[in-house]
């Protein structure tokens, strides 16, 4: 990697047997939430512009008035006070500027509400009475491991084999997101560049780890860096000299493109492309994301498209290495990491997750491989003060069936995200889908079968593999108490039924004073 222009920079799951039900399009950014005041309950604000609320059904009353508040600004108890973190329009951090504006995550969050000292705390006995019966649903499979924690006190409220190491599926992305935000920060951007080759007429496309690079103005990733704009820079820098050959430098990442423990049809099924440091639209063949088909050569395909743009023969495109000290002909930058993380979590994007794990490895001085990313992620998470004993990571996306995470670890991580001690991590929970409103939870929590009350009141990351269904996130109970929960069902035979049962269980926490 030494000598490449990218080295200095360090750079959805479809509904199938391997992933969550995503919409196939990256999320827009919700409008700024209104200022909240207690004790009066404000009227329900309009839903985010990009995600219309589900159609109202009989039996779904206006009890989501408060839910919309949770959808737009999660309430977090810190140091005995209730505070609101506001995600805000993340496009403002980078639109029209070469350098992103300072992220609000660089400063400690400020309280905007008075302390709510009178909020009653749920009790373990109360939670057990309410939640326990919901976890006996046969749709949850052979076994279910669960942890529920009161965020304000960091105390356990409920545990059903909470320390059992289970297959996490895509809730693994919560771990990856926390690690990369810790080491890179929310405003970090990934650079894709082109440099002059060692021979006359030769140009080198240097991958910097951006999986969202767009071909042109049409992309499933908002505000993505564009290859056509990069090509314009190259043509200008060449001063009319026609290039004769395009090389693709993919040396930033090493090792195999698919992960250990991945099913053999991950690529052919559209769940991910081979992980390379340069690719177009996450390796999707269709730049508009209408189909999930992925290419098996994402980096070379990017090189071929560049060759078309600059007038070089496409049959010359091959792998190569950028010369040391090569003259840069052009460069484009990705959106800030906070935006990539939110897209990753909203739509459970496996390719973004794997490139983020490699960024952790690069920041920690480890090889940018599946193994290097997993080892580096574990080390970074341990530095956050979490107990990583038993944690087994083999990738960053959760596609690996070798991954093992416990519910208690997940609730500890979620508590750390909201405790105010790690302000860089706020894009993790702003990125989690909102029940009934966005991302992989858009079409859930919309029925009257015991889950509609959870709409707007729950932010959670979903996870699904054959035989596994998981859900982990944050919920406001009926007293306004913030709870972290993680539910992991194994031996599942009814995939949709397991998701519905998990949703009902999480909604039980919404309606529960649990004392």
Q: What is the DSSP string of 57-91?
A: -TT--GGGHHHHHHHHS-EEEETTEEEE-----GG
Under DSSP, the state recorded for 197 is -
Distance CA 277, CA 254 (A): 9
- Looking at residue 373, its pLDDT comes to 98
Q: How confident is the model at residue 291 (pLDDT cuts 50, 70, 90)?
A: confident
Residue 480: pLDDT above 60?
Answer: yes
Rg (CA), the chain: 23
Determine phi and psi for 200, rounding to 5 degrees. -60, 135
Under DSSP, the state recorded for 169 is G
Residue 41: pLDDT above 80?
Answer: no
Spatial contact of 395 and 175, defined as CB atoms under 8 Å apart: no
The torsion of the CA quartet 347, 352, 354, 357, rounded to 10 degrees, works out to -110
Residue 455: both structure tokens together: 């709409």
- Looking at residue 139, its pLDDT comes to 97
Q: How confident is the model at residue 515 (pLDDT cuts 50, 70, 90)?
A: confident
Distance CA 266, CA 465 (A): 11
Please report which helix (H) or strand (E) contains residue 275, including its range: none
Return the closest-CA partner of residue 47 out of 26, 24, 70.
70
Distance CA 182, CA 202 (A): 38
- Looking at residue 286, its pLDDT comes to 83
Cis ω before 184 (30° cut-off from 0): no
Biggest alpha carbon–alpha carbon distance for the chain: 76
Average pLDDT, the chain: 82
Return the closest-CA partner of residue 286 out of 91, 500, 17, 24.
24
Q: How confident is the model at residue 90 (pLDDT cuts 50, 70, 90)?
A: very low
Beta bridge pairs of residue 344 = none
The percentage of residues in the chain with a pLDDT greater than 70, rounded to a whole number, is 76
pLDDT tens track for 159-196:
999 999 999 999 999 999 999 999 999 999 999 999 99
Residue 284: both structure tokens together: 């999707």
Q: Residue holding tokens 């053999």? A: 264
Q: Which residues are catalytic?
A: 170, 173, 348
Q: Residue holding tokens 């500890």? A: 412
The percentage of residues in the chain with a pLDDT greater than 90, rounded to a whole number, is 70
Spatial contact of 334 and 224, defined as CB atoms under 8 Å apart: yes
Distance CA 282, CA 275 (A): 9
User: Where is pLDDT greater, at 351 or 63?
Assistant: 351
Q: How confident is the model at residue 292 (pLDDT cuts 50, 70, 90)?
A: confident
Distance CA 190, CA 211 (A): 9
User: Where is pLDDT greater, at 73 or 190?
Assistant: 190
Q: What is the DSSP string of 349-411?
A: -HHHHHHHHHHHHHHTTS-SSHHHHHHHHHHHHHHTT---TT-B-S-SSS--TT-BB-HHHHH
- Looking at residue 119, its pLDDT comes to 61
Distance CA 377, CA 360 (A): 6
Distance CA 458, CA 441 (A): 10
Q: Residue holding tokens 């496996």? A: 350
3-state secondary structure of 171: helix
The pTM (predicted TM-score) of the whole model is: 0.81
Burial class (CB in 10 A: 0-12, 13-18, 19+), 81: middle
User: Where is pLDDT greater, at 20 or 360?
Assistant: 360
Return the closest-CA partner of residue 208 out of 186, 225, 191, 221.
191
Distance CA 19, CA 30 (A): 25
- Calculate mean pLDDT across residues 473-490: 95
pLDDT tens track for 399-410:
999 999 999 999
pLDDT tens track for 226-273:
999 999 999 999 998 999 999 999 999 999 999 999 999 999 999 999
Let me know how long the chain is. 515
Give the pairing of strands 318-319 and 245-249: parallel
């Amino acid at each position: 990697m030494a000598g490449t222009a990218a080295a200095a920079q360090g750079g959805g799951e479809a509904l199938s047997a391997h992933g969550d039900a995503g919409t196939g399009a990256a999320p827009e950014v919700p409008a700024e939430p209104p200022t909240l005041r207690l004790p009066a309950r404000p009227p329900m604000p309009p839903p985010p512009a990009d995600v219309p609320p589900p159609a109202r059904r009989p039996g779904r009353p206006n009890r989501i008035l408060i839910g919309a508040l949770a959808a737009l600004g999660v309430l977090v108890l810190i140091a005995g006070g209730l505070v609101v973190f506001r995600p805000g329009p993340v496009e403002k951090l980078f639109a029209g500027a070469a350098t992103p504006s300072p992220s609000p995550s660089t400063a400690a969050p400020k309280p905007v509400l008075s302390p709510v000292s009178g909020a009653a705390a749920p009790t373990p006995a109360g939670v057990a009475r309410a939640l326990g019966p919901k976890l006996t649903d046969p749709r949850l499979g052979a076994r279910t491991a669960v942890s529920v924690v009161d965020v304000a006190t960091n105390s356990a409220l409920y545990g059903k084999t909470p320390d059992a190491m289970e297959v996490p599926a895509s809730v693994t992305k919560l771990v990856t997101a926390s690690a990369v935000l810790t080491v890179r920060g929310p405003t970090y951007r990934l650079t894709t560049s082109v440099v002059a080759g060692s021979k006359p007429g030769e140009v080198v496309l240097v991958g910097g780890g951006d999986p969202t690079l767009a071909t042109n103005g049409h992309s499933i990733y908002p505000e993505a860096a564009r290859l056509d704009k990069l090509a314009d820079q190259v043509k200008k820098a060449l001063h009319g000299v026609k290039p004769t050959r395009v090389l693709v430098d993919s040396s930033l990442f090493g090792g195999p493109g698919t992960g250990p423990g991945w099913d053999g049809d991950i690529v052919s099924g559209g769940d991910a492309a081979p992980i390379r440091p340069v690719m177009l639209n996450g390796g999707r063949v269709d730049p508009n994301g209408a189909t999930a088909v992925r290419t098996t050569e994402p980096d070379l395909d990017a090189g071929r498209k560049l060759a078309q743009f600059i007038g070089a023969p496409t049959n010359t495109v091959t792998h190569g290495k950028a010369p040391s000290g090569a003259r840069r002909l052009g460069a484009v930058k990705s959106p800030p990491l906070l935006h990539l993380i939110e897209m990753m979590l909203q739509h459970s994007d496996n390719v973004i997750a794997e490139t983020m794990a490699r960024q952790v490895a690069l920041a920690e001085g480890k090889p940018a491989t599946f193994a290097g990313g997993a080892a580096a992620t574990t080390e970074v998470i341990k530095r956050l003060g979490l107990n990583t004993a038993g944690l087994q990571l083999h990738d960053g996306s959760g596609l690996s069936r070798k991954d093992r995470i416990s519910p208690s670890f997940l609730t500890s991580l979620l508590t750390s995200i909201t405790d105010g001690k790690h302000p860089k991590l706020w894009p993790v929970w702003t990125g989690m889908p909102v029940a009934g409103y966005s991302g992989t939870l858009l079409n859930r929590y919309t029925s009257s079968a015991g889950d509609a009350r959870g709409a707007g009141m729950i932010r959670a990351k979903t996870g699904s593999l054959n035989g596994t269904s998981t859900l982990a996130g944050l919920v406001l109970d009926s007293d306004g108490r913030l709870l972290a929960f993680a539910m992991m069902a194994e031996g599942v035979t009814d995939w949709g039924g397991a998701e519905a049962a998990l949703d009902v269980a999480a909604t039980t926490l919404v309606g529960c004073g649990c004392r």
